[in-house]
Structure 1
C-alpha cells in the first residue's frame, strides 16, 4: 500500500526503513543504490526527515562512516508512519469511503477539496493497491467490495489498527462497550487472547457493525460456522450487548445481521473447513515448539507453550482467510524482529530453520511470510526467554592486566566484576608488570583488558581502558562482551548445519 503515498514521501519512507535498522552507520552510496536515487536526493531527504520530525529523531552524517539515525528516547518512530498515512490524500480518501460509501465523485471532490483529475488519479492508485489484496473499489458510486466480504473487513481492521492503534478510536461507536464485549467473548469461549488480540477483536467488532449497517453482508458462508451459529445457544446471550453498541448508529440493521456478525468475528476460531485440518495444525505447532526447545536445551512453561501453539493456529487460520500483506506502510514485526535477530542469534537461527522445515512439509509460508511475526510473538510469549538464552551462553574468559601493578589490576577486576558479573570469568596477572610477559604459549583468553596495548596479543581481543575505566570504556566493553556471547563455539556448528 506504499504506492498510495506520493513518490517523494514513499522514497522517504524507504529511507527511514533503512536508517531505522540494527546497524549504526549506513553509507550514502548504499542508501542511494537501495532506493534508486542520487546521493544528493538522499541528503535532501535526510534533512527533510530531521527537520520535519526533529522531536522524534536526529540524523548524523559523517564523511568516514556515512549516515545514522538516533531515535529520541521520549518518542516512538512508529508515530511518524502514522502521521505519514494520515496526511496522505489517497489514504484519506480510502478511509472516508469506508465511512461514507455510495457517494458520487462530485461529493468527494467537494468534501476533500479535490479536482476531478486528482480524484481520478487517487482512485486509480487505490484500485491498483486494493487489487493486490483481492479487493475492489467501484466509482459509480464509490464503495469498496470484494468476492469475500471477510477479506474487505479484515483489510480495514488492519488499516485502522496500524493508523490508530489503542491510543485513538476512529469509530463513532462506544469504545468502552466494544472492549467490554471483546473481553466477554474472550472469556466465554476461552480464546486466551493477549492484549493486542483483544484490541484486534474490538476493531473487528467495530468494522463488522459498520459494514453491516451499510448493507455489506457476507454472502458465502461455509458450513462449519453456519452450523456453529445455528446450534450454539450461548452466543445469543451477546445479541443484546451488540445491539447496545449499535444503538448510537440510529440505523436499522438487516434481519440476518447477527449471524453475519458471528461469522465475521469467529472465523479464526470456528471457521475451519474441516476439524482434521485444525488438529493437524495444532500438532505441527506443538512439534515446532518442542523442536525449538530441544535444539536450544531450554525450558518452557505449559502456559507459554499453549500460547505459542494458539499463535500458530491463529496465523494459519488468518492466512487462509487473508493471504496478503497485513500492513499498510509500517511493518511493526519487521522492526522488532531485527532486534531479536541481532540479540538472539542462536534462537533466531533455530526458529528460522524449524520454520523452513515446517514450510516445506505443510506447503505453507511459515518462514516466507511469517518469520518476523513469529519471532516477535515468541519473544513475548516464551516466558523468561531472555534469561533462558542468556544462561546457555558461556562466560568470556578475561585476563586483566595493568602496567601499574597487581594492585591496580585487582581494582580493574573489581570494576569489571561489578559491571558484568556472570558474563565474564575474570583472571588477574599473577606477577609484577616488570616480570610479566604474555606469549602465545600462555593460556588463551577470550578477551584481554588492560590499560596499555599488549603487543603479543591480537588487538581485536585486547580492549584498552583508562586507569579508572570511563563510562565509554564500560559501554564499549559491554557491546564487545554481549556480541561475543551471542554465538557460542558449539552453536557455530549448528548454524552451519
Structure 2
C-alpha cells in the first residue's frame, strides 16, 4: 500500500525507518544509500521532517556526524506516518469508494478536492497495486466501485487500511452509529464459540476488539450497498435479545441474512477448519513447535501460558488461511516490535523463526507472513522469554591483582547474570602474561583497568577499579549490539 503514496512520502518513510533501527549517528551518505536518493535530496527530506514533526521526532543533525533520531518510540513515528498517509489522494479515494460507491467522477472530485485528470492519472497506479491482492477499482459508465475476487478478503483488507488511516473516528466515515451495539454483536459471536480462557484472552486485547469492530462496520457498509456474501450461518441465537433499532437507522437494508456472512467470518477466525484431520494436525504441530522452542529456551510458561500459546498459533494459522494476500501494512507496530527483537536478541528471534519454518512445512501452509505476529504474541503471552538471550563472553584484564580481578568479576556477574540467566561469562586473564597472547578474537568484549591496553579488538572498555553504573551500562550496550560478520579492529588501546 505504500506504493500508493507520493515518491517524496515514500522516501521520508524509508528515511525514518532507517533511522529508527540505528543506534547513534547515520551519515548522509549512509542514508542516501539506504533510500536510493542523493544526499541533497535526503537533506531536504530531513529538513522537511524537522519542520513538520520536529517536536515529535527530535531529529538531531550534525555536519560532522550526520543524523540521529533521539525519539525512536514506535508510536511517535507512527503519528508521522499517519499524517503522510492522510495526504495521499489515492488512499482517501479508496475510503470514499468503500462508503460511497457507484458514483460518477464528479462526486469524488468534490469529496477529494482534486481534478478529474488527477483521478484518471491515479487509477492505473492504484489498480497495479491492488491487483497484487486480487482487488481493483472498476469504472463502468463513469461509475466507480471497489471490487475484489474475494469479498471476505476485501472487507478484512479495508478494515486494516482504514484503521491505519483514521482509526475508529466515525466522523471520517460519515457515521454516527453507537459502537456499543456493534461490540455487543461481536461479543455474542465470540461468547457462543470460544471457551472461557480463550474468550478472556480476546477480551483483554483491546486492539483486537477495535479491529473486529472495524471489520463489522465495513461488512455492514458493504452489505448495505449490495455487495452480498451468501451464507446459511445460524446467526439467530447470537443476535437474539439485541436491539436493532439504532443499527437499522443507519443501515435500513440490513436484516438477519446480511448478518450471516459477517458472523461466519468471526466464527471462521477461530473455527475455520476444513476437517477434523486438519484441526488435529495443526493442534499437534503447535504443541511440537512449543516443545522445540522450550527445549532450547530454559523458560517454562506454565499450563495456562502453554494453552494460550497453542491457541495463538492455531488462530494465526487460521488467520493465514483467511487472508490469501497480505493485508494492508501502512504502519505495522508488530513488525517493528519483531525487528527490535531481532536486533537486540538475535538468538531468540532465530530460534522462533527457524522452528516456524518447520511448523509451516508440516502443516503445509506458509506461515512466514505471520512470523512477526507469532514473535509478538509469544512474548506477550510468555514475558519470561525476554530473559533468554545469547550468552556473551568477556575477558577481564586487571593490573591490580587477582583478588581485585575476582572482585570485579563478581560485580559484573551480579549485574548481568540475573533471573537464572547466563548473559555474560567472564574469564580472568593472567596478567601480564596475557599481553603476549593473541587469543582475544573469540571474546565479545575486553574489559580492563589498564589505559591504552596494547591489544587489538573491536570492543575494548576501560573501567575504574570500582566501576560505576555508567561503565556497566556501556558494557551492556556493547553486548547488545547485533553481531557483525566482518570485524573491523579499532586502534590499539582505544577505550569506549
Give 1:143's aligned residue: 145
Change (3 A) 1:481 1:18: closer
CA distance in 2, matches of 1:115, 1:481: 56
Change (3 A) 1:161 1:279: farther
Give 1:271's aligned residue: 272
Deviations 1:456-495 (CA, angstroms, capped at 9, x unpaired): 655556421356656643431221345599xxxxxxxxxx
CA distance in 2, matches of 1:246, 1:211: 14
Residue pairs, 1:135-174, within 5 angstroms: 135-139=135-139, 140-165=142-167, 172=175, 173-174=177-178
Structure 1 unaligned runs (5+)?
A: 431-435, 486-497
Change (3 A) 1:373 1:3: same
Deviations 1:216-245 (CA, angstroms, capped at 9, x unpaired): 1114x5xxxx4xx24x7xx52424437256
Residue 218, structure 1, aligned to residue 234, structure 2: no
Partner of 1:272: helix, strand, or coil? coil
Give 1:16's aligned residue: 16
CA distance in 1, matches of 2:392, 2:30: 36
Change (3 A) 1:65 1:307: farther
Residue pairs, 1:280-319, within 5 angstroms: 280-319=281-320
Deviations 1:288-311 (CA, angstroms, capped at 9, x unpaired): 111111132432323222223222
How many pairs are equivalent?
466
Residue 200, structure 1, aligned to residue 211, structure 2: yes
CA distance in 2, matches of 1:250, 1:178: 12
Residue pairs, 1:343-422, within 5 angstroms: 343-367=344-368, 369-387=369-387, 389=388, 399=396, 401=398, 420=416, 422=418
Give 2:193's aligned residue: 189
Partner of 2:54: helix, strand, or coil? coil
Residue 338, structure 1, aligned to residue 333, structure 2: no
Q: How far off its partner does 1:95 sit?
A: 0.9
Residue 479, structure 1, aligned to residue 477, structure 2: yes
CA distance in 2, matches of 1:213, 1:272: 29
Residue 89, structure 1, aligned to residue 100, structure 2: no
CA distance in 2, matches of 1:123, 1:249: 30
- The more displaced of 355-364 and 278-287 is 355-364
Partner of 2:59: helix, strand, or coil? strand
Partner of 2:434: helix, strand, or coil? coil
Q: How far off its partner does 1:365 sit?
A: 2.1
Q: How far off its partner does 1:335 sit?
A: 1.1
CA distance in 1, matches of 2:122, 2:246: 34
CA distance in 1, matches of 2:417, 2:349: 26
Contact 1:18 1:31 in 2 (8 A): yes
Change (3 A) 1:65 1:304: farther
**RMSD of aligned alpha carbons:** 3.7
Change (3 A) 1:240 1:155: farther
Partner of 2:21: helix, strand, or coil? coil
Contact 2:320 2:367 in 1 (8 A): no
Contact 2:335 2:372 in 1 (8 A): yes
Partner of 2:145: helix, strand, or coil? strand
Give 1:493's aligned residue: none
Change (3 A) 1:113 1:406: same
Change (3 A) 1:27 1:461: closer
Contact 1:212 1:254 in 2 (8 A): no
Give 1:488's aligned residue: none
Contact 1:451 1:467 in 2 (8 A): yes
Change (3 A) 1:10 1:65: same
Change (3 A) 1:413 1:344: closer
Give 2:490's aligned residue: none
CA distance in 2, matches of 1:424, 1:35: 37
Q: How far off its partner does 1:117 sit?
A: 0.1
CA distance in 1, matches of 2:180, 2:46: 41
Q: How far off its partner does 1:253 sit?
A: 1.5
Q: How far off its partner does 1:14 sit?
A: 1.9
Change (3 A) 1:163 1:449: same
Q: How far off its partner does 1:156 sit?
A: 0.9
Q: How far off its partner does 1:9 sit?
A: 1.0
Give 1:79's aligned residue: 79
CA distance in 2, matches of 1:305, 1:472: 39
Q: How far off its partner does 1:155 sit?
A: 0.9
Q: How far off its partner does 1:269 sit?
A: 2.6
Give 1:494's aligned residue: none
Give 2:48's aligned residue: 48
Partner of 1:145: helix, strand, or coil? strand
Change (3 A) 1:66 1:325: farther
